[in-house]
Amino acid sequence: MNTGQHFIHFRDIPLMYGRVPKVANSSIKGALFTLLKVQKEGVRTIADKFWKSETLGETSIITPYEARMCRGTHFSFSFVRNPFDRLVSAYNNKILDLEETPGPMKAMGLTRNMSFGSFLEVIEATKHEKLDVHLLPQSKILCVERQLVPNFVGHLENMEQDWGKLQQQLRREGLPKLGVLPEKNIRRESKERDVPRYFEDSGIIRRASEIYGEDCEWFYKDKTIDQLIKGDK
């Protein structure tokens, strides 16, 4: 059973958001902030801690299993990302860009400026419950017992279009609109263009495909591994 707390649950609005790090998570949280009755200035809305314990009880963070139990009363949504692009994004941001490797990743054995191949080897050798959430397969965040929890799942690659579809769905559900998606924490401007160079080795492709194969099956079944690595739309 997936016991990690991944869903933001609203107390007074029948709404839940399955947050997936490295998938416009900060921007979506910024949009959700507008739904709170009490909106304090200067708060760090991107932090899970804020949604868990600093909204005066308006929200909490619950497990996918708990979120599935709320499907009868709450509409839930999430967004996913090409797993190969998400992996490279996490590597660039957490291993190459930061001066110090984040604690959860350091506990896994990851170190600053390590090679991408070594990075992948550590992920492969780490059990899912020990993986930093930025590296956890999206299917482990959004699925319970081979069942998808969110009612709506959009794709980062079609963010503008899918965000519009989400707004239409929210309106049909009688839920408040989230408005324009704010731009927060955008770091890697090249997006998918640099992904192919990380997957020129067949061994790395095989290793990544085994780790994130369920993500491909659940959310990108219309694409081949080669198409995902090339970033085909």
Q: What is the pLDDT of residues 27-71, one digit of tens each?
A: 999 999 999 998 877 678 889 999 999 999 999 999 999 999 999
Contacts within 8 Å (CB) and 24+ apart, 67-72: 67/6, 67/7, 67/9, 67/16, 67/18, 67/149, 68/144, 68/147, 68/149, 70/9, 70/16, 71/149, 71/151
Query: Under a CB-based contact definition with an 8 Å cutoff, are residues 166 and 77 in contact?
Result: yes
Average pLDDT over residues 113-139: 96
Please say if the pLDDT value at position 111 is more than 90: yes
Q: What is the pLDDT of residues 87-106, one digit of tens each?
A: 999 999 999 999 999 999 99
* CB-based burial label for 192 (10 Å; 0-12, 13-18, 19+): buried
Q: What is the pLDDT of residues 161-188, one digit of tens each?
A: 999 999 999 999 999 999 899 876 555 4
CATH class name, domain 7-230: alpha beta
Q: In sequence order, what are the beta bridge partners of 153?
A: 78
Q: Domain segments of the chain: what residues?
A: 7-230
